[in-house]
Amino acid sequence: MDYKEFLQTKIEIAQESGFEITADDLNPALKPHQREAVAWALRGGCRALFESFGLGKTAQELEYCHQAVKHEGGQALIVLPLGVKQEFTRDAVELLGYEKPAYVRKMEEVWAAAGKEILITNYERVRDGDIEPGYFKAASLDEASVLRSFGSKTYQEFLEKFKSVKYKLVATATPSPNRYKELIHYAGYLGIMDTGQALTRFFQRDSTKANNLTLYPNMEDEFWMWVSSWALFITRPSDVNPAYSDEGYELPPLDVRWHELPAHYGNSMEKGGQMSLFTEAAAGLKQAAEVKRESIGKRVEKMKEIVDNSPGDSFILWHDLENERHAIKEAMPEAVDIYGSMDYERREQRVIDFSEGKTRLFATKKSLSGSGCNFQKHCHREIFLGIDYEFNDFIQAVHRCYRFLQKEQVVIDIIYMENERQIKEALLEKWKNHEKMVEKMVGILKKYGLGGTGKAEQMKRKMGVETVRIEGKRYTAVHADCVEETKKMEENSIGLIHTSIPFGNHYEYSANYNDFGHNQSTKRFFEQMDFLTPELLRVLTPGRVAAIHVKDRVLFGNATGTGMPTVEPFHAQCIAHYMKHGFQYFGMITVVTDVVRENNQTYRLGWTEQCKDGSKMGVGCPEYILLFRKLPTDRSNAYADEPVKKSKEKYSRGQWQLDAHGYWRSSGDRLVSKEELKDVPVSSLQSVYREYSRESVYSYQEHVELANELDKDGKLPASFMVIAPGSWNTLEVWDDINRMNTLNTTQSRRRKQMHVCPLQIDIVERVINRFSNKGDTVLDPFGGLMTVPMVAVKMGREGYGIELNPDYFRDGVGYLQAAEEAREAPTLFDFIGEGKTQEEKR
């Protein structure tokens, strides 16, 4: 396989695992768009129907299961929320003409219904182990938005329980009500792509806040194209085919009325002891519950007022708390209510009675009737007695009446308190995002249809790059794929290779299949590296060094199935890889990282969890500089063909001893006291303590006591570490790397694009000084913002950087030009020593 062929294997379109069936072979009672959607799902095998409310997902699920069993044999299982069994029974018998599906609660009932083609059950029965999905040939999850939460019990249980089911369908109108990230959990359940892999491929993390993931801007189009290959979004029949009629599929007008009630002004106590006028509901669950509890009377009074003003209308009275239900019944005794502990048959009958117009006021919870129930025939009014952050439950409830075939304008009255305004704004924002997502997916469907060929061809266009070469007096910057560029380079022409390679498939840097981070797994990443590393060995001067910056990758337990965070030893895999291609491994430099900052990004090293059970807690992940060498031509003394020489006048014996052996210390000193540090600002504590720690005998107990004293004084931040221990051995462990000293800092100040994982400037200075001569060419095949070639220019070397991302490349060239101009025209700082590099200061 050549390089181009390898890149083509990266294109991700969901594979088809089903069977061919034409729309004409399906039940004629289905509408044309429904038949085409079912045929598409059966052809794919495992697919998602994310169709809007009222487009007939119930009938489509039944037909999908019927055809899958007809083709494969066995039985099919439909899993649905409590309270919607009657909808499936009605469509199966009255619409499609099939036998009534059997409702089952345990496997004994499944075996007893051996002659039945389709069985139905609820989510709780499957989740609690009463029903074994692996027994069935096909399965459909109705209102499958329960899968959207990766960490939920339902998702984790279902992922394993349904793994062996050949035909899997999920159906919901609200697949990702909160964040687009939730969509990938359906892909994981359906077997389309591992959830962790999808996260890595399409989403970027916020390095300052754990679990805050957003779509890479440059991956957005590819993400939606990929989703459309396994999920079908439809808002009306003509979305599938312009020839299909939309008659009967026009939504009625929607009137949403927000009723803000004044909050109680009293003496609410905040955490810090301050008094506030009222409790802020958005502050947390406890505060939100307090607001709900204190305002029940006011809110029910407003609900009754709305009901009394429209005596001829039927109403759904949505509420969340039992206390609210009791208050509604007291204020409006004629209301018919249901609740969780009510006998199921009695509860189901009350739902049916309201859907058939036999009762006027129906008091229910979103958790009971918010999904699957159709009330549009006899009701066009809904009142929400309160609001919360659960947009999925909210929007599902709205669409119990706001559906196709609704003949009246739908009026939604939402009652909330003055101190719940932030919750209202959050709901409106999620509503807007939901509509944006549906619009995007429908656009892709209209453009490419239900087939995958056009999408694959479109995605191939993201392969390859037109080479751009910028050359200065002391640098060369190339916008290209580093594999293709290094093939063109002269053999034995590079004095030092220093780069921060992509950390496996942990990050993606550009919307291009040539991107090394754009791989399905770490194994695939190294397969692409197999095309690059031999070229790096070829261009490196014999005897010279490749210094490779890497970091191990944290693997989270909910993605691996271990239940605990583990670490992928990426640095060890890199050592094996480079050695396989002929590099000689001769050492590793450790660069310590800030464990507190890391915990803010991952939540795996938390103080609270450590106190609960220290046995599962690991340690911070340092970064490493892996040192590899190309063997010299003459191996008798191991000197490089062009040795890296230093003058003893500039490189003293003392400096050599420190570089070679680290620090030797006496035992006559002591830890610094709280009194000596109390006047030091937090911004200075890091450097002061580290310097002290290097020069003192270390005591863990005294270190802990110092940290505790600083915490009491309010000088121990939760977001970064101020008293990290200093290292005695600065050759092997670098403890003073300034994580703010990257070109990303400059980028952020200029409000330009941030590099995904930037290399620190002081690391680069040390490596270049130690392993190269002035005048050497220093190569970085993953140039990024061109930190390595820029520093090389400043230190009297020739910089050579290759970068695939056009934005990084453009900004990097700007830094290179500025560096070269600075060397040509010395500034005042050059004369007074402020602008000198590490080597020049020596």
565-620: pLDDT as tens digits: 888 899 999 999 999 999 999 988 887 765 555 555 556 667 677 787 878 777 77
Please give the DSSP secondary-structure letter assigned to residue 609: H
The neighbour count for residue 407, using CB atoms within 10 Å, is: 8
Closest listed residue to residue 771, CA positions, set 750, 747, 784, 788 = 788
Q: How does pLDDT run across 787-798, given as a tens digit for each residue?
A: 999 999 999 999
Confidence of residue 747 (pLDDT cuts 50, 70, 90): very low
Indicate the angle between helix axes 421-448 and 453-460, nearest 10 degrees: 100
167 pLDDT more than 70 = yes
Q: How many alpha carbons lie under 13 Å from residue 744 in its C-beta half-sphere?
A: 14
Tell me the C-alpha distance between 568 and 434, whole Å.
36
Phi, psi of 175 (to 5 degrees): -70, -35
Q: How many angstroms separate the Cα of 766 from the Cα of each of 631, 659, 664, 734? A: 22, 11, 21, 10
Q: Average pLDDT, whole number, for the chain?
A: 81
For residue 628, how many other CB atoms are within 10 A of its CB?
A: 25
Average pLDDT, stretch 540-545?
A: 98
Compute the radius of gyration of the chain from its Cα atoms. Answer: 32
Write out pLDDT tens, residues 758-775: 677 878 888 898 899 999
Residue 175 is given by DSSP the state S
Segment 663-690 shows an average pLDDT of 42
Question: Mapping DSSP to helix (H, G, I), strand (E, B) and coil, where does residue 206 land?
Answer: strand
pLDDT score, position 197: 72
Q: What angle do CA 586, 588, 591 make, to 5 degrees?
A: 165
More confident call, 599 vs 672: 599
Distance, in Å, from the CA atom of 403 to the CA atom of 254, rounded to the nearest integer, reads 10
What is the pLDDT at residue 693?
Answer: 55
Measured between alpha carbons, how far is 179 from 188 in angstroms, rounded to an integer? 16
What string of H, E and C letters represents the secondary structure of 648-696? CCCCCHHHHHHHHHCCCCCCCCCCCCHHHHCCCCHHHHHHHHHHHHHCC
Instruction: List, in order of start, the domains of the chain with CATH numbers.
Output: 45-234 (3.40.50.10810), 254-266+285-448 (3.40.50.300), 474-665+730-824 (3.40.50.150), 668-729 (no CATH)
Residue type, 548: I
The answer to whether residue 667 scores a pLDDT higher than 50 is: no
On the question of pLDDT at 280 being above 60, the answer is: no
Q: So what's the pLDDT on residue 554?
A: 80
pLDDT value at 511 more than 70: no
DSSP conformation letters of 300-332: HHHHHHHHHT-TTS-EEEEE--HHHHHHHHHH-
Residue 505 pLDDT class (50, 70, 90 cuts): low
pLDDT band at 211 (very low <50, low <70, confident <90, very high): low
Q: Please give the average per-residue pLDDT across 340-364, as a whole number.
A: 93
What tokens appear for 327 in the block? Answer: 């208050």
Cβ(37)–Cβ(31) below 8 Å: no
pLDDT digits 0-9 by tens, 6-18: 988 877 667 889 9
Query: Given this model, what pLDDT does residue 755 score?
Result: 42
Does 443 have pLDDT greater than 60?
A: yes
Per-residue pLDDT band at 37 (split at 50, 70, 90) = very high
pLDDT (mean) for 725-731: 51
Share of the chain above pLDDT 70, in %: 74
How large is the greatest C-alpha to C-alpha distance in the chain, in angstroms? 102
76-80: strand order across its sheet: 102-103, 118-122, 76-80, 138-142, 167-171, 46-51, 231-234
Nearest-10 crossing angle of helices 453-460, 220-228: 160
Asked whether the predicted pLDDT for residue 535 surpasses 60, the reply is: yes
pLDDT score, position 526: 95
Residues contacting 545, CB < 8 A, separation 6+: 496, 497, 627, 628, 629, 771
